[in-house]
Chain A
């Protein structure tokens, strides 16, 4: 489904943050990208989404080379990205957030698609007239995910879906991602919450300093001491991951 080959990307010319990263996501899979702070995880998926300049390498989505495409074209190829922060339009209502994203859905299907999302996230249906800026952190995350799902993406890419949420809300969001996964949507996610990410994923990549360091199934990485070393760098690793 998605193949990122030897990608170099960054915000300033000549200063790559992602340095030769290579990842692959198969249809129906849930793949996590893990790594310590500053590993280049978010930059990697933001460059896949068309938001960060690429210096070299290739990004292929279902056979189509999307390396040079801007973000508004990437979503039309079936890759929907949910940013970590400021991922809803706070000055618009929930309904307007959906209506904006529905512009790339065929006109005859728009109403039904938005209805599907309200059915999947009933809380959003209750708050459809509310400004997104007035929603709770969890509701905003729901809206951001629902807005991305509404376009029926081939690949849903999430950047730190748990960031800034309470533990209870993280549980709720990951339960919803599990439900989304059951519908067959392919998911690529970046997460700091290793436990939650590996609990959801089939496979994961570990990045450090913009490079691939480890890769494997969720179970393999869960039991790999090197992962905890990268995250916690010490004796607390086992207790933290256990």
Chain B
């Protein structure tokens, strides 16, 4: 049996996991399922794409790719700026829309509003960039043999490594820093958090910024290894939620583990049961885990 699906699954899973961190943070801290999160992935990818083109224009000549990778330094600079901009976009969406609805304390209204925001953001993206897929680079990549019949391109290996680095950084932020502890505290008990001195509104702002930035990183990675399309975030939305729920809402390691499991399950479904069932297999795994452990893999009972 060809084990290539393991590589494909881990790569897809790492990106899903990265996006799912934002979903799980938003869900646990703001207490609603943000269906516009997928759009941050697409907007982040397009922001990086636009900025890369802008940097290329300002430099005035083609920038050579870095080493074995398909892209040059402009994408790295653009990626960092795009992460900031996507975080700001997420924060702006909160200021304009969610913060006003949050005051009314109705989670269903927030969820429906996020559906609306998702549609608006996606349509705007399609209007500006059309629905044609675009690419960060058209450089050819030669896949490197990894053993046991598995192969991966340098871009794929780099994005997987970067995703894992971001996950470790986020884990350290959440466990070792004041903002991380504050986010965990607000997620558990916002009133008590404010009593011990945590600025809950500040934590909410940080959550949007971090969630948006990570979604952007996931979007750039999908853009580098696959393509950039207005629907790229929407297509990832269900796997993102599956990963967050599978890992246990509120658990960051859970979101990453959930992402990897969903990615692997989807990839494994192609050789095992056929590509047509790809989307369904992840949800079979999700349902099976939730029947055995309703709080998800790392979730805690309320």
Given the complex, which residues of A lie within 8 Å of B189, measured CB to CB? 86, 89
Overall SS of chain B's interface: helix
| Chain A min CB distance to B181 (Å) | 4
With A72-B200, A89-B188, A90-B188 given, is the CB distance from A81 to B182 under 8 Å?
A: no
Please, which residues of chain A bring their CB within 8 A of the CB of B300? Answer: 91
With an 8 A cutoff between CB atoms, is B141 at the interface?
no
A103 vs B184: C-alpha distance when bound (angstroms): 14
The stretch among A27-35, A94-102, A169-177, A222-230 that forms the contact with chain B is: A94-102
For the complex, is B131 an interface residue (Cβ under 8 Å from A)?
A: no
Contact B198 A100 (CB under 8 A): yes
Cβ–Cβ contact B195 & A151, under 8 A: no
A76 to chain B: closest CB distance in Å?
A: 7
A177 vs B75: C-alpha distance when bound (angstroms): 60
Residues facing A in B161-211 (CB within 8 A) are: 178, 181-182, 184-185, 188-189, 191-200
A147 within 8 A of B: yes
Q: Are B181 and A72 in contact (CB under 8 A)?
A: no
- Chain B residue numbers with a CB within 8 Å of A49 are 195
Decide: A104 near B194, CB < 8 A? Known: A86-B189, A89-B184, A99-B181.
Answer: no
B196 touches A100 (CB 8 A): yes
Closest to B203 in A: A72
Contacting residues, chain A, for B192 (C-beta < 8 A)? 83, 86-89
Report the contact-size class of chain A (Cβ under 8 Å from the partner): 20 to 34
**Interfacial chain B residues near A87, Cβ < 8 Å:** 192
Chain A minimum-CB-distance residue to B191: A51
- Measured CA separation A27–B198 after assembly (Å): 26
* A83 neighbours in B (Cβ, 8 Å): 191-192, 195
CB distance from B2 to the nearest CB of A (A): 42
Inside 8 A of A145's CB, which chain B residues have their CB? none
Taking a contact as CB atoms closer than 8 A, the residue among A71, A91, A103 that contacts B195 in the complex is A71
A92 to B188, alpha carbons, bound, how many Å? Answer: 9
- What separation, in Å, do the CA atoms of A73 and B199 have in the docked complex? 8
A218 at the interface (CB under 8 A from B): no
Total interface residues in chain B, CB < 8 Å:
18
Which residues of chain B (190-236) have a CB below 8 Å from chain A? 191-200
B181 touches A92 (CB 8 A): yes
Chain B contacts for A86, CB-based, 8 A: 189, 192
Are A75 and B197 closer than 8 Å at their CB atoms?
A: yes
Q: Indicate the member of B188, B194, B195 with the most A CB atoms within 10 Å.
A: B195
A70 at the interface (CB under 8 A from B): yes
Residue pair A103, B188 in contact (C-beta under 8 Å): no
Proximity string of chain A (108-125) to chain B, C-beta cutoff 8 Å, 1 when within and 0 when not = 000000000000000000
CB distance from B192 to the nearest CB of A (A): 6
CB neighbours of B200 from chain A (8 A): 72
Which residues of A lie under 8 Å from residue B182 when comparing CB positions?
A: 100, 103
Are A91 and B198 within 8 A (Cβ)? no
A69 to chain B, nearest CB (A): 11
Q: Are B185's CB and A100's CB within 8 A?
A: yes
From A71, A75, A100, A147, give the contact of B181 (CB < 8 A): A100
Asked if A72 and B185 sit within 8 Å, CB to CB, the answer is: no
> Is the C-beta of A10 less than 8 angstroms from some C-beta in chain B?
no
By beta carbon, the residue of chain B nearest A102 is B178
The answer on a CB contact under 8 Å between A71 and B194 is: yes
- Chain A residues, Cβ within 8 Å of B181: 92, 96, 99-100, 103
Residues of B within 8 A of A70 (CB): 194
Expressed in whole angstroms, the Cα–Cα distance for A81 and B193 within the complex equals 11
Instruction: Tell me the complex Cα distance, A49–B196, Å.
Output: 11
Shortest CB-to-CB span from B247 to chain A, Å, is 15
Minimum C-beta distance from A185 to chain B (A): 17
Chain A residues positioned under 8 Å from B188 (CB to CB): 89-92
**Could you say which residues of chain A place their CB within 8 Å of the CB of B193?**
89, 100
A50 at the interface (CB under 8 A from B): yes
Cβ–Cβ contact A151 & B194, under 8 A: no
- The closest CB in chain B to the CB of A132 belongs to B188
Chain B residues with a Cβ under 8 A of chain A: 178, 181-182, 184-185, 188-189, 191-200, 300
9 A–B pairs (Cβ distance < 8 Å), ordered by A = A83-B195, A86-B189, A88-B192, A89-B184, A100-B193, A100-B196, A103-B182, A103-B197, A103-B198
Taking beta carbons and an 8 Å cutoff, which residues of A are in contact with B?
Answer: 49-51, 70-72, 75-76, 81, 83, 86-92, 96, 99-101, 103-104, 147, 151
Closest 3 A/B residue pairs (Cβ): A71-B194, A104-B197, A100-B181
